[in-house]
Amino acid sequence: MPFFVHFRRSSISSRSAFTELFESARLPVFRYIYGLTGGPQAEVEDLVAETFLRAWKARRGFEGEPQAAVGWLIRIARRLVIDDYRRQIVRMSRRLPVDDPCSDSIPEQNALEMEQRGKLIALLTDLPDEPRELLTLRYMLGWKIGQIASHLGLTEDNVSVTIHRLLAKLRQQWAEGQMDEPPFPDPLEKIS
């Protein structure tokens, strides 16, 4: 009696299918990573590239429909962000403090925008990983509550209530300006 093994081909194993996945998922993966890390853009782009490189190498092992591949990419990106965070902690612990050279003066509007962006990033960074991921999936990737619940294994009600409470807390902290230290050093501090 002949023995046949059925190999199911991955829905993204071909070069063209993976290229299509890349084109459709590049921006959501970028937004996800940016939402978790807060930038800078070059580092986010490096993590996006590494996400797709790892996905390319593992594409034949992916089982599922092409629509599920975005969730798969998000899981790869999440692991990379965690690994990158751990590497940064090690690097920072080894690095001696070095003064940054003074930069040119910044126009008032740019400084205000940078301060507000820094404040928002600081507020988001202070959140634990899970709540930050909820907000990133919802507002940076535009996922619906049901998609988030399915991806994270939570109920839709839990996701909805948690997001509502997080937003209320962030609004309050934003209004009160509760921050331990400014998100960016004062550029004029080094001049004096």
Higher pLDDT, residue 143 or 121? 143
Backbone angles phi, psi at 73, to 5 degrees: -65, -40
Query: pLDDT tens digits, residue range 8-60?
Result: 456 788 899 899 999 999 999 999 999 888 888 999 999 999 999 999 999 98
Domain covering 107-186 assigned CATH 1.10.10.10 in the classification? yes
List the chain domain ranges.
8-97, 107-186
User: Cα dist. 73→82, 95, 121, 136 in Å?
Assistant: 14, 32, 24, 15
Structure pTM?
0.55
Query: Residue 135: its pLDDT value, please?
Result: 85
Which CATH number does 8-97 carry? 1.10.1740.10
Query: Residue 183: its pLDDT value, please?
Result: 43
Query: Residue 8: its pLDDT value, please?
Result: 46
